């Protein structure tokens, strides 16, 4: 079974400082990895994905994430946090369709609440 772990329920960071939201995963075969952001009472918005290729993936709103296969991690980062980045962030994984294993369904982590302090 595939799984995602987001070890931090909450991350607090001062505005202008770099931020990191951690994610590790477990999946059979090669992973497809995603980050989503959710604002209060809204659905999820796609930020970025890793399918293949460069380990450093750049996404929306200045976010990026680094795929580390040996550590099975896909941490979300941003060089300079904004107050408007405060939201709930979800990491998600599913297996590569040609890996012959795992589920095509997306498995989400429990979410990390990011608070950017002015």
Query: Which residues contribute to the site for another protein (CB under 8 A)?
Result: 32, 34, 36, 41-46, 49, 51, 90, 97, 104-106, 108-111
Q: How far is the CB of 74 from another protein (least distance, A)?
A: 14
Helix (H, G, I), strand (E, B) or coil at 71: coil
Cα–Cα dist 3/85, whole Å? 25
Q: How far is the CB of 79 from another protein (least distance, A)?
A: 23
Length of the chain: 118
Q: Which is nearer to another protein, 32 or 74 (CB)?
A: 32
Helix (H, G, I), strand (E, B) or coil at 60: helix
Q: How far is the CB of 110 from another protein (least distance, A)?
A: 4
């Amino acid at each position: 079974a595939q799984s995602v772990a987001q070890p931090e329920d909450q991350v607090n960071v001062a505005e202008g400082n770099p931020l990191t939201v951690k994610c590790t995963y477990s999946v059979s075969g090669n992973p497809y990895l995603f980050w989503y952001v959710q604002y209060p009472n809204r659905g999820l918005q796609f930020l970025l994905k890793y399918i293949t290729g460069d380990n450093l993936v750049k996404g929306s709103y200045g976010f990026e994430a680094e795929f580390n296969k040996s550590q099975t991690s896909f941490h979300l980062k941003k060089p300079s946090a904004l107050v408007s980045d405060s939201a709930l962030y979800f990491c998600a994984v599913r297996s590569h369709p040609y890996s012959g294993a795992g589920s095509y369904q997306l498995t989400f982590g429990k979410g990390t609440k990011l608070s950017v302090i002015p």
